[in-house]
């Protein structure tokens, strides 16, 4: 097992913390098995851990905590007793996030690799998150997650005008109309006309969104394929994303779901239920289906990989 040094202050209980590094289509995370919620989770520690020059480096930090050890988890166990493990997720800056679509797949893979959960072929693994319980199954390319229902953040404007906000993006001359969608966390989707626009946008700083959703927002820039739908009946689009509290990332699972939902809405009647979303880190699948609650749900599928293990050394 390799040792790594995270430059946290001596007051942070980091020394000796075992961790695993994983990613889903390049969206990378530091994960730790923390059944009793004893590992550090303060913002300063998380930011130092995720720092790509002075820490391990990641888009986010995930603690695998037994649901019974957290108030949010105990609340979910009242109606979802099978959700034994809670995905306690934080962005790279230490801010708490509702959930992460790529992170759920990596989290499930981590639980299986740690031998604390089982997911037989045809089975289902319930995972507790701050956005509710997510159900994971095996897929042909890794894992598939029922992300639950999607919804408009500003439904009246979305239905009436097909947009609800304007977004200022570095590298583009004028503000662009956008559509805000919740996947349990907030997203603002901007459609661009061509790949050249997508390539020249500057996402090293957060785009300006007006009005911005109450909890802030992730911003997805999408270019629909031409033709939009292939001979196989699958819709396709390319995407870049700026994540809240992180910056531009190689991929965003909930963002891919939101991007497909917005593009499908813009396409109108007859738009397909299945989509492929190309991100800088690879390709994920998005499928819309009728959920058991009578609402339209989103299934996210894609790979998950664990690439390293280590133990944090004392600061200094």
Q: pLDDT of 99-123, one tens digit each?
A: 899 999 999 999 999 999 999 888 8
| Residues 217-227, mean pLDDT to the nearest whole number | 97
Give the three-class secondary structure for 293. coil
The encoded tokens of residue 93 equal 């800056």
Active site residue 252: yes
Residue 141 CB coordination number (10 Å): 14
Beta bridge partners of 96: 90
pLDDT at 15: 61
Cis ω for the linkage preceding 154 (within 30 of 0): no
308-314 mean pLDDT:
91
Which DSSP category does 121 fall into? Answer: T
Q: Which of 100, 128, 209, 222 is catalytic?
A: 100
- Model confidence pLDDT, tens digit, residues 258-296: 999 999 999 999 999 999 999 999 999 999 999 999 999
Q: How far is CA 210 from the centre of its chain?
A: 23
Q: What is the DSSP letter of 69?
A: G
Q: Tokens for 187, please give them.
A: 């997203």
pLDDT tens digits for 42-90? 999 999 999 999 999 999 999 999 999 999 999 999 999 999 999 999 9
DSSP state of 207: P
Specify the pLDDT at position 130.
Answer: 95
Query: What pLDDT shows up at residue 121?
Result: 80
For 252, the enclosing helix (H) or strand (E) is none
In angstroms, the CA 133 to CA 125 distance is 10
Report which DSSP code applies to 155. H
Would you place residue 140 in the very low, low, confident or very high pLDDT band (cuts 50, 70, 90)? confident
Q: Which of 167, 252, 260, 277 is catalytic?
A: 252
Residue 146 tokens read as 């029922």
* Closest to 180 measured CA to CA, from 203, 160, 205, 158: 158
pLDDT at residue 4 is higher than 80: no
Mean pLDDT over each residue of the chain, to the nearest integer: 93
Q: Give Rg (Cα) of the chain.
A: 19
Q: How far is Cα of residue 266 from the mean position of the Cα atoms in its chain? A: 23
Sequence-distant (6+) residues with CB within 8 A of 92 are 46, 47, 50, 58, 59, 60, 61, 245, 246, 247
The pTM of the full predicted model, rounded to 2 decimals, is 0.89
Q: How many residues belong to the chain?
A: 316
């Amino acid at each position: 097992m390799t040792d790594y040094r995270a430059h946290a202050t001596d007051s942070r209980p980091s020394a000796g913390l075992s961790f695993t590094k994983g990613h889903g289509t390049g969206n990378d995370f530091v994960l730790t098995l923390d059944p009793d919620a004893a590992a550090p989770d303060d913002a300063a520690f998380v930011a130092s851990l995720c720092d790509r020059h002075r820490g391990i480096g990641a888009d986010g930090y995930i603690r695998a905590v037994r649901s019974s050890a957290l108030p949010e988890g105990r609340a979910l166990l009242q109606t979802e007793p099978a959700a034994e493990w809670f995905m306690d997720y934080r962005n790279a800056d230490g801010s708490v996030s509702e959930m992460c679509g790529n992170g759920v797949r990596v989290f499930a893979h981590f639980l299986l690799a740690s031998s604390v959960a089982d997911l037989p072929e045809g089975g289902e693994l319930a995972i507790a998150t701050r956005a509710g319980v997510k159900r994971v199954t095996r897929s042909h390319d890794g894992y598939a997650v029922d992300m639950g229902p999607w919804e408009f953040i500003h439904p009246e404007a979305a239905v009436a005008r097909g947009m609800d906000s304007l977004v200022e993006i570095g590298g583009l001359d004028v503000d662009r109309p956008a559509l805000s969608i919740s996947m349990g966390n907030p997203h603002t989707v901007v459609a661009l006309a061509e790949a050249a626009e997508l390539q020249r946008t500057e996402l090293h700083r957060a785009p300006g969104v007006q009005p911005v959703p109450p909890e802030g927002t992730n911003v997805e820039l999408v270019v629909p394929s031409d033709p939009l739908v292939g001979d196989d009946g699958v819709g396709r689009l390319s995407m870049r994303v700026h994540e809240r509290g992180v910056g531009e990332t190689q991929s965003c699972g909930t963002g891919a779901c939101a991007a497909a939902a917005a593009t499908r809405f813009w396409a109108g009647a007859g738009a397909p239920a299945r989509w492929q979303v190309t991100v800088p880190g690879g390709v994920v699948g998005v499928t819309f289906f009728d959920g058991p609650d009578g609402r339209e749900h989103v299934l996210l599928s894609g790979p998950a990989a664990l690439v390293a293990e280590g133990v944090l050394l004392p600061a200094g």
